[in-house]
Structure 1
Amino acid sequence: MDGFIPPHALQPVPDVPVLEVKDLHTVFMTDNGPIHAVDGVSFTVGPGETLGIVGESGSGKSVTALSLMRLLEEPARIVGGSITFQGKDVLAMSRSELADWRGDRAAMVFQDPMTGLNPVIRILKQVTEHIVSHGRMKPAAARTRGIELLRRMGVAAPERAAASFPHEFSGGMRQRVMMAIGVANDPALLIADEPTTALDVTIQAQILDLLRGLNEEFGTAIVLISHDLGVIGTVCRRVAVMYAGEVVEEAVTAEVLADPRHPYAWALVNAVPRLDAPTGARLTSIEGTPPDALNPPRGCRFEPRCPFKIARCATDHPPLMEVAPGRRARCWVTADGRSLPRPTLPAAAEAEIPLLAEAPLLEARNVEKHFVLRRPSFMKPGLTVHAVNGVDIALHKRESLGVVGESGCGKSTLARLLTRLHEPTGGSVTFEGQDITHATPAAMRSLRPRLQMVFQDPYASLNPRMTIGDALAEPLLAHGRVPNRKAADERVRELLSTVGLKTSFASRYPHEFSGGQRQRVSIARALALNPSVVVADEPVSALDVNVQAQVLNLMLDLRQRLGLSYLFIAHDLAVVRAFCDRVAVMYLGRVVEEGPADDVLSRPLHPYTVALTSAIPEPGRQRVVLGGEPPSTLRLPRGCAFSARCPIAQPACEERPPLAEVASGRKVACHFPGAFAPRTLSRLETVR
């Protein structure tokens, strides 16, 4: 940073690790007994190194991070092992020493920036707090540095943003502020706990670029925690894979991605959807759940779910042993140095071909939705948010149509318009040949069973006071699909079996399920009334990659078995490629490109689609970094909405391009379709 040299850059780097963890044990004391959340974890991070810690929810990743910073509170306790930072014993530090160390020499960026930021303190004050409290600068100089930090993190108009409150920022902007706070004193160690979970692929790529830049420019040692090996592969040189509180594999990231030596790492690698995978191909997933933390298996903790297990795995707990030079794995199968076989998944039964020649099942024509904000006073008119601005879209029988784009582009609003949870401001919506644009609630009641929706957050969409059985029986009884509660309970058992859940789960409440299980319940509820169309709004965006693979495979199977049509909304293009026949790309409330998923995602024609596909976290993928933010939805630009960020914008873009067909089945809203293509990029390119 200009005028600020990090203390660890002024001195020769000592020949000791920045962070050294040996046999760390963290336990949660409960009434039923101790839960070993972190059970014998060891690793080192040297100066300028990047280490990724990967695993599904409950594997112990976040507890490990909190243990490193000594941020745990009762009933959690560190009961064994050592944590050493630049030769100093962290576990022996006093409270005042910890206060001096945290935020200065070591910092942490948390997963949820909204809970990590104080909602009543302005952004600049929060960024400069650690700079002043650690005596690095006087308040006036700290304010200048704080604004420069925000600029460096990619916050647009940092002088204006500095006076804002957290709720005025998007999720991506709040995460940038958290990054600015974390690096304010240029720490020698930065721990980032799931910093990109549920963010758009473009924002995710920008955050990862920031982490890479800190590591390369200042030699900051980084520990990046994630459930996505693709994210880890773009930033980290080494990776530690965790399962049930243990490190089960540790090696150079590229080696793990190419040839994982532990079955759990093998499953994580193969569960990630890729753009080069064929559409509709099933993903590798591991059924079942992690072991009971109060009563772990006697042998290998992964043995109950392992497809490669041998007899020894059930009785003998494997140590973390060297299975190849520089590689360690906790597995008896690969202990002799052998590799695991490539996945050989049986392909899903071929779905019936979508009936594109027939009339659409669900169609929107020039649909619009504007929200008028409350007037600031009686003398001033209210502001209008232009959420959806003239969208034409059609879903056919037995088709999966993906809708993708950044947050705020209008995807979720479009979903609510098509399901008539919102009434359109303009245009028309037709379902099964019937105009439902302004249908009354009574008229929609008869259509609701055939037009269902799966929401992004299953926990928020399920009543916490109702058992799963009651939640699934409610629509059956309300629509008169069953004669009595006994018949409803029988149908509930069928639905739970259909989505791969035990029938005994009907008596449980939502909080007793994992995220993936709750999403299966939401899918079961959507299927209860035998719909013809299911609108799925970001159904897998916040799930672990293994659970994501399970849910996607389930939805593919249900499509084939029940002949469903899906409108699938997502910001992850690789997920859309794995699931959808066609895709529509939205930007600022409009569709800018539409066509077969294979064509659009492998050969994009609109510059915005090029940027989206380049942002997918796959090692070696060339990146197009878009500058700036999307225009405000309060005042739409007159011409092309993307022109302010477009790398090939020209005077002709002052007029808005129509969504025109440029090839059979391909539509693009661009004056120069295909002029900016991935094959023209030879390096990381920042545009506008």
Structure 2
Amino acid sequence: MKPPTLEVEGLRTVFLTDAGPVRAVDGVSFTVDAGETLGIVGESGSGKSVTALSLMRLLEEPARIVGGSMRFQGRDLLAMRPDELRALRGDRMAMVFQDPMTGLNPVIRILRQLTEPMVGHGRFAPSEARRRAIGLLGRMGIASPERNVSRFPHEFSGGMRQRVMLAMGFANDPALLIADEPTTALDVTIQAQILDLLRQLNAEFGTAILLISHDLGVIGSVCRRVAVMYAGEVVEEAPTAAVLEDPRHPYAWALVNAVPRIDQPLGEDRRLVSIEGAPPDALALPPGCRFAPRCPFKVERCEREHPPLAEVAPGRLARCWVTQAGQLLPRTGGAGLGGARAVPSAGAPLLTVRGLVKHFPLPRESLFAPRRVVHAVNGIDLDLARGETLGIVGESGCGKSTLARLVTRIHAPTAGSIVFDGQEIATASAAAIRPLRRRMQMVFQDPYASLNPRMTIGETLAEPLVAHGLAQRGAEVRDRVSGLLATVGLNPAWVSRFPHEFSGGQRQRISIARALALEPELVVADEPISALDVNIQAQILNLMLDLQQRLGLTYLFIAHDLAVVRHLCDRVAVLYLGQVMESAPAEALFARPLHPYTGVLISAVPVPGRARVVLEGEPPSTLIRPTGCPFRGRCPIARPLCETPPPLAEHAPGRWAACHFPGEFAHAGLGA
């Protein structure tokens, strides 16, 4: 019998620091056979990426592998010389990194980056490597590969760059591909295309795939088995479907229940299970179960003895004293958490947008070249009631973030009307807008980029209070800042810390606290959870629900995660190329979408065992507006009539769609 493609036994990797060794990976064991897909899932800091880098022997001092064994096709990776490792990497073993821009050289064209490993490993002659590079790009779904192969990485979108990384990974037909978070922060359609590619290439080449992610939905749609990691060790290993349906470790249970599911009915209570606290300090790990301080099911033994990874059912391993004793965990974690849903006001809308347009002129390429214009927003109509949460969804480049900046008047619109609480602000001067800043605030996608790294969080939160005269410097502003931190679940004693001293979830809470400092009526949240772990996402979503209930907030919530939008929002507007394709109550829209684009987006959400509609290509360029329906070039039901632009019309009470054939896509069983 052939040995497993990859066999890892008791792997231990530490980082040697002045304070002592940090045990990043502590006794990890698993195997991956040829043609198998294994998922590794866990929150940030659990040791997933360090495990992958250890396998590729890419770690340098102060990191050191201090124990265990790693065998690739029977060969000992730890005993290999540097020249043997170089011959292996990029040839029989390949890795796709999380951020393609750090994995691609920005000053080298795509063709050279693709052919370099093929020629360098002696697998292909230069002319054959060129043909193969073009063929690989075409198979990865990149249009016009002969032309695009001569471009630089910055000329590609995020999804296209990730496909280039996958093409590089498969360039030499590796026996093992390690994919580290290959779909993080990608649009749902691009994510679905990348996952389809992984499944297809796994089946076609028989490549063993090790897929690392914090998203169990992504793991469930690709991987047959999953290993759940926490604090540097595997806490559960089992078939993926079994973990999703019946997790046997409390940490895996919390991860499963922290994620909204698009294929499950919504209850009255929208709160999610979240794990409070933080993982243990890798410098001083507890003597018992490492998850015990955060575990809702712990028993006294959990605090004293460290559990082994033992069999709890045929083919299922878990590191838990409770389930090893035969106890089953609850089937669902969402029941009984409290928090009734806020009811939107039936009065006049707080925000009304009509015919909103925003164009960005680009610099001329030459003196006589025509001026090019980016058509970011092209005539949007929206209403937002008091106390309501309106979700804005769509692919990158559809105008979501530009709309957010127009509504808050960070950008001035090219045309159209924005009425906030009865006051027209589209053409208002900066002086007229300034008093309204108190009433409308924004939470940005990247909290670290939106916080001043030179200011403590106490100073960051105090600044708007003092600037708007809501508090005097001294004891009054200190009390207000302490109250804001407590409101978002942070320790008031942390006021003297700087942004870099907080985790991503904590920084996002600080951004929310800053938005709440002026007691606004409208909060515009632009992708506030897109790059966060599922547990931190659950905490932020629960916080937003609690604050809306307590303070009567109105949310404009922008996201590309449709399951989160369905979970949080009362209504949803779907954007494509700066136009509203569909607008409807959330439950009705997800139950039966009227517009084909909405149906494709819903179909692209990774749900284990569910087929999906493949949406080829990417949105057209915003430099040249398409004629007719903007979606017709990618629409699965497009007809000649679509050459005439469809109006945004009401097809049922509260249900608007810009389509000549509303509901036909979902009626054919292709959408939801």
Report the TM-score range of the alignment, normalised by the length of the smaller protein.
Answer: over 0.9
Structure-2 residue corresponding to 1:188: 175
Give the structure 2 partner of residue 7 of structure 1: none
How far residue 443 of structure 1 moved from its aligned partner, in angstroms, is: 1.1
Show the counterpart of 2:645.
656
Count of matched residue pairs: 669
Question: 2:254 maps to which residue?
Answer: 267
- The code of the aligned residue for 1:481 comes to L
From 137, 147, 170, give the equivalent of 2:124: 137
SS at match of 2:461: helix
Q: 1:92 aligns with which of 57, 79, 104?
A: 79
Give the 5 Å matches for 1:165-184.
Answer: 165-184=152-171
Cross-structure match for 2:470: 481
Counterpart Cα distance in 1 of 2:209 and 2:302? 34
**Partner of 1:365 in structure 2?**
354
* Residue 471 in structure 1 maps to residue 437 in structure 2: no
Counterpart of 2:228 (choices 233, 238, 241) is 241
Q: In structure 1, what is the Cα distance between the partners aligned to 2:5 and 2:187?
A: 32
Quote the offset at 1:679 in angstroms: 5.5
Q: Which residue of 2 aligns with 1:434?
A: 423
Query: Deviations for 1:239-276, whole angstroms, at most 9, x for unmatched residues?
Result: 00000000000011111111100000000111111123
CA distance in 2, matches of 1:301, 1:53: 18
- 2:530 match: secondary structure: coil
Shift of 1:484: 2.1
Which runs of 5 or more residues in structure 1 are unaligned? 1-13, 684-688
* Bigger Cα displacement from structure 2, 53-62 vs 439-448: 439-448
Which amino acid in the other structure matches residue 214 of structure 2?
H
* Match of residue 343 from structure 2: 353
Please give the alpha-carbon distance, in whole angstroms, between the structure 2 residues aligned to 1:285 and 1:682.
31
Cα deviation for residue 682 of structure 1 reads: 11
Cα deviation, residue 483, structure 1: 1.9
Deviation at 1:339, TM superposition (A): 1.6
**Whole-angstrom CA distance in 2 between matches of 1:657 and 1:395:** 24
State the match for 1:200 in structure 2.
187
Deviation (angstroms), 1:218? 1.0
Q: Distance in 2 between the 1:156 and 1:137 partners?
A: 24
Alignment of 1:349-428 (within 5 A): 349-355=339-345, 357-428=346-417
The equivalent of 1:539 in structure 2 is: 528
1:626 alignment partner in structure 2: 615
Aligned mates of 2:142, 2:341 — CA distance in 1: 45
Q: 1:348 offset after TM fit, Å?
A: 3.8
1:62-81 alignment runs, 5 A limit: 62-81=49-68
Residue number among 610, 616, 624 corresponding to 2:599 in the alignment: 610
Query: Secondary structure at 2:323's aligned position in 1?
Result: coil
1:31 match:
18
2 CA distance for matches of 1:314 and 1:378? 73
TM-score calculated relative to the size of structure 1: 0.96
The question of whether the paired residues in 2 share the 8 Å contact of 1:622 and 1:682 is answered with no
Shift of 1:381: 2.7
Identify if the C-alpha distance between structure 1 residues 379 and 80 changes in structure 2 by more than 3 Å, giving closer, same or farther. Answer: same
Contact persistence 1:277–1:578 (CA under 8 A): no
- Cα distance in 1, alignment partners of residues 33 and 618 from structure 2: 36
Shift of 1:347: 4.4
8 Å contact 1:324–1:337 — kept in the other structure?
no
Identity within the alignment, %: 70
**Does residue 1:55 correspond to 2:45, yes or no?**
no
* Gap runs ≥5 in structure 2: none
Per-residue deviation, 1:15 = 1.7
Cα offset for 1:616? 0.7
Tell me if 1:317 matches 2:313. Answer: no
Query: Given residue 150 of structure 2, which amino acid in structure 1 is its aligned partner?
Result: A
Shift of 1:345: 3.5
How far apart in 1 are the matches of 2:567 and 2:122?
Answer: 52
SS in 1 for 2:322: coil
Partner of 2:285: 296
- Aligned mate of 1:216, from 203, 209, 222: 203
Instruction: Map Cα deviations across residues 515-537 of structure 1 (whole Å, 9 max, x no partner).
Output: 11110000000000000000000
Q: Which amino acid aligns with 1:652?
A: L
Following TM superposition, by how much is the alpha carbon of 1:439 offset from its aligned partner in structure 2, in angstroms?
1.4
2:139 paired residue number: 152
The CA distance in 1 between the partners of 2:121 and 2:25, in whole Å, is 31
CA contact (8 A) 1:384 1:634 kept: yes
Equivalent position of 1:337 in the other structure: 326
Give the alignment of 1:533-682 within 5 angstroms: 533-677=522-666, 680-681=669-670
- Deviation per CA, 1:44-101: give whole Å up to 9, x if none: 0011111000000000000000000000011110011110000000011111101100
What is the alpha-carbon distance in structure 2 between the residues aligned to residue 306 and residue 679 of structure 1? 45
Cα gap change, 1:274 to 1:159, in 2 (>3 Å):
same
Q: Which residue of structure 1 lines up, in the alignment, with residue 510 of structure 2?
A: 521
Distance 2:86 2:356 in 1: 55
One-letter identity of the residue aligned with 1:426? A
Distance in 2 between residues matched to 1:345 and 1:494, nearest whole Å:
30
1:450 corresponds to: 439
Alignment deviations for residues 133-170 of structure 1 (CA, whole Å, 9 cap, x no partner): 01111111100100000000011111111011000111
Name the SS for the 2:646 alignment partner: coil
Q: Which moved more, 1:672-681 or 1:214-223?
A: 672-681
Q: Which residue does the alignment assign to 1:43?
A: 30
Write the distance in 1 (CA, Å) between the matches of 2:479 and 2:134.
62
1:166-194 alpha-carbon deviations (Å, 9 max, x no partner): 00111000000000000000100000000
User: Which of structure 1's runs of 4+ aligned residues deviate more than 3 A?
Assistant: none
2-structure distance, mates of 1:496, 1:229? 31
Q: Offset of 1:681 from its aligned partner?
A: 3.9
Distance 2:145 2:94 in 1: 22
Distance 1:344 1:208, change over 3 A: closer
Q: How big is the shift at 1:471?
A: 0.6
Q: CA RMSD in A?
A: 1.2
